[in-house]
Chain A
Amino acid sequence: MELTYDWNCFQSMFYPKRRAPASAANANAGSEAAAPVFLVVEEERILSVFGEGEDFSSWIGAGYPQMAAEITHRELILFERKDVDRWMSGALALPHFHDQVEFLRQNAAPKVLSRGRLRKGGRTLLLRQGLEMPVYRHFILEAIQGWWAKVLPSSYGILIRLEGALPGTYVKDVLVVIRRGRVDSFCEPDFTILGRERSRQPEDVVRYLSEKHLVPVQGLFLPAELWQRWIEAENPWREVALAVRTDRAKLVPFRWSLVTLAATRGFLGI
């Protein structure tokens, strides 16, 4: 059965697993900037706390000023419980998890207790409003949900086929349908009807999906390890443009306009 929202397939492509960060102790020693600690608070009481690399659960129920006075090496990012409840309720109306995640990221407006303002012994704590959350987004989703939405068709599909397998994943084909710049559905397409031979032909599968979903479909065919390299690259669009040019990745059908968009983003950063 082809699921409309095949999250396992979508997340294996677009929400790659991250490595666990170095422990807070290392960060404290000055080797790198310590990751912030995120809190859900009600008035001053901590309801929930999350910080990578350390267990802060013993702070639940305590007041955040005490925590701020104690933990001076990490920024505290605070969300009010009432706001969180409101945002979470608001996200329920959206159809799938990716949209809901985007909604939360766009709406979540935290307060920040900045590093450097806090000292043991208790100076007045200063709260800063409106932080831009340092969030990882997959470079393809970032692009198609950005200004590309204005130049790309209002409805289209992207088929990504990986040759070979990524570690920890089993999915090789993902079809993402975009409508009005937003991810509308995602699935692992079923090519049973095409037969074994035709389902290996890029042109055939793209044509089949276009007819089935009634949207133009852009195919991207590449080795799995190249996809992994793009994800880890600092400037993935540059890698994409170079890979298409050297035929390591294949666009089906080949569209100059898309290559130009990728190259512009990769080389000019637009």
Chain B
Amino acid sequence: MVGGEVNPYPIQLLVNYWEMRPSVMGARLDALLRRGVAHIATFVPWQAVESDISHTLTRFLLAAAERKMTLSLILTPEVGIHYPYSGLPKDIVMKPENLAQHSQKGPVTVSLPPNCFGLPSLLSPEFNKRYSSFLSRMDSLLADFKRTHGKSLQNIQVVLSGSFWKYYRSARESTGNPFGGLAGDYSGGMALEFRQRVDYFYSQPEFSDPNPAAASRWKTRAMENVNYRWFHQQSESVFRHRSYQMVRRKAVSAGVREIELFTPEADPALSYNHFLQTVSGGLGDFHRLSALVDESAAFSTMGAGGPAAPFLRWSSLGGFRSLCDAEKQFLILKSLLVMGGLGGGIYLEEEEWFALSASFRARAEAFARAIAHGELAIRTRALYLTPHLWSGSAPLWRELFSRLGPEARLLSALDLLERDREAGLLIVDPAFILTREAVQKLSAWARSGRTVVLPRSTLYTELARAELELLVASSKRMDIDLGVRYRVHELGDGKLIVHELPGGISNSQEELAAWQTFLTALLSLAEIEGYCKVSDSRLAVIPMERKGRELGIFVMNGTRRAVSGDVVFGGKVVVSDLAVAISATSQGLAPASGPGSASPSSVPSNRFSLDVPPCGFLPLAVNGLSLASEENRERLAAAQLAQATRESVTAAAQAELPGFGQGTGAIGDLWN
């Protein structure tokens, strides 16, 4: 995970307080407590708060506090809430001037009950005014609650999500590759805001170098796509910061958590699918929903106060409801593993959860507990830096994602890099604007034993270009041309790779092949290799790291038929049942680790045959795998430590020794 923390509640049940009658609220919470649920989550529909004359929310908070239940209040407007217009005020949604438009100039519709509607623009002045008032009201409500009920507020966590930004996509562009097209709000009201922010951004001195006229090259029509991406990412960041500040004015002691919430059933990629299911009376599309879980796990978002953990929500309003139990269980377990493994989790409706079999719930809860205790986590091995998270990325990202799955993550904030302790490779998108500060941050990241891949694009400022030239001038280099021309430079303990863009290739297949070869070389240079391979393409693997640096893999069969296949490892290993190992750990028994502790029938081998049932998961504990990545990680940690020591020594020297400055050179030069 990228800077994430372990989430204590990977499975959270949603209880819609506004659907409960005050007279049965207590009884309903008591029933949950009897079933062992002490933490619940609820959306707070904006419209429900504005029209809450009977103070239902306060009563709900009180009822939860009386029972010492912990509570997550999800405040930001979200899609798929069981409230008309998903809880948004009707008068805002009904005004065409408030509505968002996707890049193809159409409304962004959400096709979920209780009614389909067009999403409003989060940049619309009227929306923002009302939204600020809603947040202030919530802030006051929580402050009042604190005044009257003191410590009970500690059990309440305010949750701010990423809201609608990721849904501002055209259904047409999202059908093949869900995040393949340009995302963002292209409504009329946004255009003025766009111009103003672009002018402001490029008025920074760095863009006017070497002369003020140079700034105009950044604002040309050719730069429009780049600028739109930057603008949409920046708008999202501003929105998050504003929301974060507003809910912390009075009720500062309420914990605020930022998350990125995905509701696959409401995703534009499924809009046409919904239409087809509606007119045909068909069931949900299990395969598309499953694919969206994979896609959603790739994003690493930054909130105002730190990284926003990814969460995924299955509602009872869309196609998920009509799936059979086996398919639901598959999706729940898959999303729990990928989202939970990255520090997030899943939200489920209370009724949906308890309608599942007790044995499945026990199994899922065991994995959730392991995730919550940090015994299972997905390790991020490669990163891709993009100017806008939700807009289509270059083929290099698609290729990276297809090879590493949830171990490759997409990010747009350089701040997230500083928190990363795991990834060994970072690829920068050709549409990313590179300033001097960005180049410095990237090179500092690379120096600590990592590999940074930069494109040779026109999107460098003059200062950034000079910085890069300075970096590479003193380093050893190697020129390679395998379809994509690139140059490898040594940088401290790490590597810096600068590549050309394969513009001369006319055939898209050839271009794709060139990128594939290039990526193979990059992964090899960064010493990233897969843990195992499966012989049947219908099977997929989620690799998770266990406490004690061992490996756990989940072999998934996302089809409706049993699949037999082999799992092939790089060396001889012993595999055992991961579920048993986890339950042994949780009961305080000695974990079954190491070849000696494997069951008598386990024989070290590099190939294992498996029969995976339809919509099934096989959790395997893998022992004895000599993780090359483990050695890499130790080397990385040592390099990071060395880098940190070097920086602190330099900082101390600058502070203490008069005359010791930037021009003095490296410490090594000083002594030699």
Residue positions of A touching B, CB distance < 8 A: 1, 3-8, 11, 17-20, 23, 36, 38-40, 42, 47-50, 52-53, 55, 57, 60-61, 77, 79, 81, 84-85, 87-89, 91-92, 94-97, 100-101, 104-105, 108, 110, 133-136, 168, 170, 190, 192
What A residues does B20 contact at CB under 8 A?
Answer: 1
Q: Is the CB of B288 within 8 A of A168?
A: no
Q: Are B279 and A88 in contact (CB under 8 A)?
A: no
Quick one: given A18-B322, A97-B116, A136-B281, are A7 and B276 in contact (CB under 8 Å)?
Answer: no
The answer on a CB contact under 8 Å between B273 and A50 is yes
- Please determine whether B275 and A79 come into contact, CB atoms closer than 8 angstroms: yes
Determine the chain A residues whose CB is within 8 A of the CB of B317 once the complex forms: 7-8
B317's nearest neighbour on chain A, judged by CB, is: A7
Would you call B281 and A92 a contact (CB within 8 A)?
no
- List 5 A-B pairs, Cβ < 8 Å: A7-B82, A20-B324, A23-B560, A50-B276, A97-B112
Distance to closest chain B CB from A73 (angstroms): 17
Find the A residue at minimum CB distance from B54: A1
Tell me which of B83, B277, B282, B287 contacts A3 (CB under 8 A): B83
B319's closest neighbor in chain A, by CB? A50
B275 to chain A, nearest CB (A): 6
CB of B18 within 8 A of CB of A1, answer yes
How many A-B Cβ pairs are below 8 Å?
142
B528 at the binding interface (Cβ < 8 Å): no
Which one of B103-111, B230-238, B464-472 contacts A?
Answer: B103-111
- The answer, yes or no, to whether B172 is at the interface (CB within 8 Å) is yes
The 10 lowest CB-CB distance pairs between A and B, nearest first, are A48-B272, A97-B113, A7-B113, A7-B114, A55-B287, A5-B114, A50-B276, A38-B276, A40-B272, A108-B279
Min distance, Cβ A22 to any Cβ of chain B, angstroms: 10
Interface residues of B in 249-295 (CB under 8 A from A): 271-273, 275-283, 285-288, 291
- Which A residues lie within 8 Å of B111 (CB)? 88
In the bound assembly, the distance between CA atoms of A192 and B321 in angstroms comes to 30
- Which residues of chain A are within 8 angstroms of B271 by Cβ–Cβ distance? 88
Contact with A along B520-560 (1 / 0, CB 8 A): 00000000000000000000000000000000000000011
From residue 135 to 189 of chain B, which have CB atoms closer than 8 A to chain A?
Answer: 171-172, 175-176
Question: How far is it, in angstroms, between the C-alpha of A14 and the C-alpha of B304 when the chains are bound?
Answer: 44
* CA A94 to CA B111, docked complex, whole Å: 13
CA distance A135 to B286 in the complex (A): 20
A74–B281 CA distance with the chains assembled, in angstroms? 17
For residue B129, which residues in chain A have a CB less than 8 angstroms away from its CB?
none
| A6, B279: Cα distance in complex, Å | 22
- Are the CB atoms of A47 and B272 closer together than 8 Å? yes
Bound: A87/B109 CA distance, A: 12
**In the complex, what residues of B have CB within 8 A of residue A92's CB?**
107, 109, 116-118
> When A57-B291, A91-B116 are in contact, do A47 and B172 touch as well, CB less than 8 Å?
yes
Interchain CB contact under 8 A, A48 and B273: yes
Q: Is the CB of A61 within 8 A of B176?
A: yes
Which residues in A have their C-beta under 8 angstroms from that of B115? 5, 94-97, 100
Give complex CA distance A170, B82 in Å.
16
Most central of A5, A8, A108 by chain B CB within 10 Å? A8
CB distance from B114 to the nearest CB of A (A): 4
**Which B residues touch A79, using CB under 8 A?**
275-276, 279
Is the C-beta of B84 less than 8 angstroms from some C-beta in chain A?
yes
Q: Which residues on the A side are within 8 Å of B34 (C-beta)?
A: none
Closest-by-CB residue of A relative to B106 is A85
Contact A18 B280 (CB under 8 A): no
Residue of A nearest to B90 (CB): A95
Report B657 CB to chain A, min CB distance, Å.
Answer: 63
Knowing that A105-B278, A108-B279 touch, tell me 5 more A-B residue pairs with CB under 8 angstroms: A3-B19, A17-B321, A40-B272, A108-B275, A133-B281
Closest to A48 in B: B272
Instruction: Report whether B175 and A88 are in contact in the complex, using a CB–CB cutoff of 8 Å.
Output: no
A128 to chain B, nearest CB (A): 17
Q: How far is the CB of A30 from chain B (nearest CB, A)?
A: 19
**Interface centre among B21, B272, B316, by most A CB within 10 Å?**
B272
- The answer to whether B282 touches A104, judged by C-beta atoms less than 8 angstroms apart, is no
Q: Identify the closest chain B residue to A135 (Cβ).
A: B281
In the bound complex, residues from chain B placing their C-beta under 8 Å from that of A135 are: 279-281
Q: Across the interface, do B114 and A97 meet the contact criterion of CB distance under 8 Å? A: yes
Interface flag for B23 (CB, 8 Å): yes
Judge if B355 is at the interface, Cβ distance under 8 Å. Answer: yes
Interface residues of B in 339-376 (CB under 8 A from A): 351, 355
